[in-house]
Structure 1
Amino acid sequence: MKHKFLTLAFILIFAAVSSLTTVLAAQWYEYSEPDINEMTVYVEGEMVWYGYCMNDAVPDRWICYTYQYATPGLERGSNTQVKVSFVANTDLEEVSIKTWLTGYHEDIEAETAQFDVFAGNTYTKTLNLELPSDMDARDEYTLYVQIEHQQDLSGIDKAEVDTEIQRISNIIDILSVELYDSNNNYVNQFNAGSTIYIDAVVKNRGNYKAEDVYVRASINELGISRNIYLGDLAAYDEDDEDDSKDVTIALTLPSGIIAGTYTLEVYAYNDEVSDREIRNIFVSGYQEEQQGEQQPGKVEISTQVSSNEVEQGKGAVYTILVANFGSTTKNFIVETTGTEGWATTTITPSVFTLAPGQSKLVNIYLAAGENAVEGEHVFSAKVRYGNEAKSYNLIANVIKSKSETDWKLILMIIGIVLAVAIIVLLVILLATKKKTTTETVESYY
């Protein structure tokens, strides 16, 4: 008896849930034969909406119904296919089908070319909607499909479909790439032996945090590349964290290369996702006057990443580019000061040698202490070479450590505990009922 009761309960629950998947969207009457007798809408191959008209019991009256069978999940940043199938009761000329999505600040729409329709035939058309990548999943969006004609149509000529905006779980996007020279001029033409500075902005458009993101700039024809650690990018809807970051990468062009057009690739990636952007640059051949401009002790040092937000107990990477534009080989030593008591640093490399025309990217990994005081901390990186030394201020904004709570696991545990408690309660109730029945029978005799 107990098993039959539980089985019946599960069947009733399943039937109730299943009934919610189809919703009667609208119902109305037409008092002349409808122009469009029925229409079906598919999104990404799945039927989501259907409408039809039929003769009513009352003469010269048709009753029309529309149903929404499913709520399509649309992926922002994707090309979404909308297929429309319909049957007309009358011949029509110069008909087109238009679909559009409301709820976004710009028009998202598509329309077919015009075509003629003959009564009783089924016509199927496919349209594609380009969904923007910055659609907010928390907003409401409605998909419309309209059969358009020079005159107003009757019957099932328009569909209105409620949708949900989903996101690709993991995706990063390079929003912009800008190139400039040592004089801060934004250009795409450089001289051999000069340095290209690349500003790149990377955004996480995914549903989850993108961890340990790197950005690499490279010119494969010249065999040069630089790799920069960007860090973690928060999920798109995390309002209190950064879902985008910018980085500057410096690439020093070799001396004596052939003048021509070269391909510069900017590549953002982590273990799961990646994105790339391509820029074409023109490089002028090495010029003799450039050699005359070189000085025996000319060194160029620039900070690539000078400010980071660092969580207590965690770390961040700062980068400094050192280039030797002189005519002699130089030895360099990099050290930091000002982190005593709240952080430690690891410098890679801390000691190195650069021949004329060479450059080196120095990574400074700063690890904040678990008890580091919240707020802005300033520390210095000093680069020493020969009898000279240059210092650069770096900034660390220390924030409170965030506890990572696995809510899915907690909810699952709570659900299991509640299920066990309900089962135990049912067993106790059934046992008590059985015991009461037995005692009643015994007292009767």
Structure 2
Amino acid sequence: MKIEKILVSLVAVLALTVLLAGNVSAFATVTNVEISDVEGNLNSVWGASTKNHGAFAGETIPVKVTFVADEDAQDVIVKFELTGGNGYSVSTPRFDVVKGSVYTKRALIEIPSNIDVEERMHLEISVENQDAGRADVLHDFVLVAQRESYKVEILDVLMDSTVQAGESVPIDVVVKNRGSHFSEDTFLTVSVPELGLQQRVYYGDLSPEDQSDPDKEDTIDKRLFLNIPANAPSGVYAIEFKAFSDDSSQTVAKKFAIDGASRSSLVVSPMSSKTFGLNEVGEYKLTLVNSGNNIQVYNIVTDAPSELTVEAEETLVAIPAGTSRTVKVLVDSSEEGDYTFSVNVLSNGVIVEKANFKATVEGKGKAGNSTTDGTVVLTVILAIIFIVLLVVLIVLLTRKPQRTEEFGESYY
């Protein structure tokens, strides 16, 4: 009795399996599957048979599938799924098929960079009818994963996106050996072509994978410092990172912005126009502000017509970051008129700020009026003294002499 029940159960299960198989019957027949390498110079055409295919880490493999529709269907997709490693899946957009028609679909399969050479990956290709919920698994291809013999890669670059002119910029760069052999004498160069900057760092020997004896690593993170010139103009620049050995190299480019010296320097003048007399000294003031993060050294250079004598009390000024300083500019002239002159503020030979001024020189200076007034006063005082003396002299000359009385002796 028990045996009969078991046989009945088996028959039921078999019937259910046949029923389900009928529901998921294939609606398409694959006629060709083509896998080629990135360059397209190696083609493996497989039909119903399955073969192993070599796949290098990080490469992109083109895959082409050709099939014939055995019936009309809507919302059909071709799905390419890579199992093993981190996994990868890509599908075509949905499309309709007409019975008896031939269709070809293509996809690019990305092989992970960090594959395990001991692990086998599988590429499963299927044509699915999402509308009816049916799928036809066509092939399961075995991909034999392997790494390039020699390959260095820049994993990461960390730096500020905006830096100040004159700064020493810290940059962290991570370099990894993706190859299956040692990367010996690995270097990294950092360059900013527009500014003529280049720096080189030695990363040493990178092993294919971390090991303790001898102590070798496949990834090294180093910090370097790139000195930005103080006179670098403001703008956006390209910076290039190149990791290389004798057998492999990789270049990565990034963008960063420089706030130039002109952006971090400010010249303020409380009064740009003055009036003074001939031979009088006119005094102008300049306030230099350094809003940058580093000390700035400025040269003060004047530009004036020949009729003016213009001098800065200090021609070389050092201003710490975040501070300011006032510089006096002295002007005089021996010719009257209206004049303009300028004061240029330079950093490393490049003008970062320019201030324009106006001087009006009048015909009489304060110094000349003072001399004239003193002469007049002295002349008046001398004239008064002369008159007084003259009066005294006249009085003395016109005064009559007094008579002298004679006294005799009297006897009684």
TM class by smaller structure: 0.5 to 0.7
Matches within 5 A, 1:252-291: 252-286=227-261, 287=265, 289=290
3-state SS in 2 of match to 1:90: coil
CA displacement, residues 300-356 of structure 1 (integer Å, 9 cap, x when unaligned) = xxxxxxxxxxxxxxxxxxxxxxxxxxx8xxxxxxxxxxxxxxxxxxxxxxxxxxxx9
Give yes or no for contact 1:36–1:157 (8 Å, CA) kept in 2. no
Task: Name the CA shift for 1:291/1:140 in 2 (closer, same or farther; >3 Å).
Answer: closer
Secondary structure (helix, strand or coil) at the match of 2:47 reads strand
> How many angstroms apart in 2 are the aligned matches of 1:81 and 1:255?
50
Partner Cα separation in structure 1 for residue 84 and residue 103 of structure 2: 29
Q: Secondary structure at the match of 1:235?
A: coil
Distance in 1, Cα, partners of 2:162 & 2:174: 21
The separation in 2 between residues aligned to 1:170 and 1:216, in whole angstroms, is 19
C-alpha distance in 1, partners of 2:95/2:227?
Answer: 59
Say if 1:49 and 1:161, in contact at 8 Å, map to a contact too: no
Change (3 A) 1:255 1:162: same
Q: Equivalent of 2:34, from 42, 64, 68?
A: 42
Q: Which residue of structure 1 aligns with residue 55 of structure 2?
A: 74
The within-5 A match list for 1:191-206 is 191-206=164-179
For 1:283 and 1:221, locate their aligned partners in 2 and report how far apart those are by CA, in whole Å: 12
**What is the distance in 1 between the residues matched to 2:66 and 2:210?**
36
1:21: which partner in 2?
none
Note if contact 1:36-1:153 (Cα within 8 Å) is conserved in structure 2: no
Q: 1:253 to 1:237 in 2, by over 3 A?
A: closer
* CA distance in 2: counterparts of 1:220 and 1:131, whole angstroms: 34
Amino acid at match of 2:152: I
The residue identity in structure 1 corresponding to 2:249 is S
Q: C-alpha deviations, 1:230-265, integer Å up to 9, x for none?
A: 111112486863111122221111122212222222
Cross-structure match for 1:398: none
Q: Which residue among 99, 120, 125 is the counterpart of 1:140? A: 120
Matched residue, 1:214: 187
On the 8 A contact 1:233/1:242 being kept in 2, the answer is: yes
Deviation at 1:49, TM superposition (A): 4.2
CA distance in 2, matches of 1:153, 1:239: 52
Structure 2 gap ranges (5+): 1-17, 37-41, 266-288, 298-317, 319-346, 349-412
Cα distance in 2 for partners of 1:261, 1:229 equals: 28
TM-aligned CA deviation for residue 144 of structure 1: 0.4
**Equivalent-residue separation in structure 1 for 2:163 and 2:123 (angstroms):** 49
- In the alignment, does 2:232 pair up with 1:251? no
How many angstroms apart in 1 are the aligned matches of 2:155 and 2:58? 13
The correspondence for 2:150, drawn from 162, 170, 173, is 170
1:78 CA displacement:
1.3
Query: Gaps spanning 5+ residues in structure 1: where?
Result: 1-27, 52-66, 180-186, 296-326, 328-355, 358-445
Taking a change above 3 Å as real, the CA distance of residues 195 and 237 of structure 1, as seen in their structure-2 partners, is closer
CA–CA distance in 2 between the matches of 1:152 and 1:248? 55
Q: Tell me the TM-score normalized by structure 2.
A: 0.54
Task: Report what 1:366 is aligned to.
Answer: none
Match of 1:413 in 2: none
Q: How does 1:281-430 map to 2 (within 5 A)?
A: 281-286=256-261, 287=265, 289=290, 293=295
SS of equivalent residue, structure 1 residue 221: helix
CA contact (8 A) 2:76 2:128 kept: yes
Q: Percent identity?
A: 29
1:89 aligned to which of 53, 58, 70? 70
Task: Kindly state the Cα deviation for residue 168 of structure 1 after the two structures are TM-superposed.
Answer: 2.0
Query: 1:48, 1:72 within 8 Å by CA — same for their partners in 2?
Result: no
1:230–1:163: structure 2 CA closer, same or farther, 3 Å change rule? same
Contact 1:39 1:157 (C-alpha < 8 Å) held by counterparts: no
Q: Is the 8 A contact 2:237 2:257 kept in 1?
A: yes
Q: Displacement, 1:126? A: 0.8
The alignment partner of 1:113 has SS state of: coil
- CA-CA distance at 1:227 after TM superposition: 0.6
Larger deviation, residues 268-277 vs 196-205: 268-277
Q: In angstroms, what is the RMSD of aligned CA positions?
A: 3.1
- Name the CA distance, whole Å, in 2 between partners of 1:237 and 1:118: 55
Match of 1:100 among 36, 60, 81: 81
TM-score by length of structure 1 reads 0.50
In the alignment, is the contact (CA less than 8 A) between 1:48 and 1:71 conserved in 2?
Answer: no
Q: Stretches of 4+ moved more than 4 A in 1? A: 30-34, 236-240
Structure 2 CA distance, aligned partners of 1:204 and 1:126? Answer: 32
**Structure 1 Cα separation of the partners of residues 119 and 254 of structure 2:** 36
Paired amino acid for 2:113: S
Could you say if the C-alpha distance between residues 234 and 266 of structure 1 is closer, same or farther in structure 2, counting changes exceeding 3 Å?
same
Query: In the TM superposition, what whole-angstrom CA distance separates every residue of 1:96-126 from its partner, at most 9, and x where no partner exists?
Result: 1001011123x40111112222333322111
Separation (CA, whole Å) in 1 of partners of 2:293 and 2:62: 59
The aligned amino acid for 2:253 is I
Amino acid at match of 1:191: Q
**Counterpart among 95, 105, 118 of residue 115 in structure 1:** 95
Distance in 1, Cα, partners of 2:128 & 2:68? 14
Structure 2 counterpart of 1:408: none
Q: Which structure has the bigger radius of gyration?
A: 2
